[in-house]
Amino acid sequence: MALRQLLPLAGLSVRDPRAGMRGVLDLGLPVQHYWTAFLAVITLAAILVQGFFLLAPLPETVTAPDGTEAPLVLPNGLQTAAFVGGGLLLAAAVIHGLSRAAGGTGRFAEQTLALTWLQAIQIGLGLVALPVLVLLPGLAPLLEVAVFALVLWMLAGFTAVVQDFPSVGKVVVALVVGFFGLVLILSILLTALGLAAGGAVS
């Protein structure tokens, strides 16, 4: 697939997420290419994160809650890719399940493609914003809020197309419920891990 096909679709997706996602689906890619794109995007994301680790002035140690100092341990490239890929798949599963419960008709592979495409655009936005952050670091908080709102807007539009919703209203509800559900699940898991670790120590 030529880059000249993807760049206009990326711009369209930012301006009109629903039209942009329709354009991606209209490319008629075989389902196996969805997963090829997924692997390519998480690999690129991992490379960029590792590059950030190398260039950013990170501290050598971190302070634990009990006040002790510990060396800062960063994930390697494979761990980073696994984290990004796992996060995308988990988000796709939650959004797809809630959307189907609300009457959506999309497939899980298409929902994963939507999040893969969103991640690719996020990478592009990050690269575009990087010079601005370097030259004007004071704008970082405002830029982060703007990018977060834009990503949510695109995600709602992409999901509305994939799940064949006439509007983004149901999608917004599914995203809100899914977000709080993930927070609850992670809280339970972290609590269980903390209790297990405490029992092992004692």
pLDDT in tens, 152-176: 889 889 999 998 888 777 677 666 6
Domain ranges in the chain are 12-27+36-53+75-193
Distance separating the N- and C-terminal Cα atoms of the chain: 57
Identify which has the larger pLDDT, 183 or 142.
142
Q: What is the pLDDT of residue 117?
A: 95
Structure tokens at 82: 């696994």
pLDDT over 90, % of the chain:
27
**What sign does the dihedral 105-109-115-116 (CA atoms) show?**
negative
Pick the more confident residue, 24 or 131. 24
Which pLDDT does position 39 carry in this prediction?
A: 95
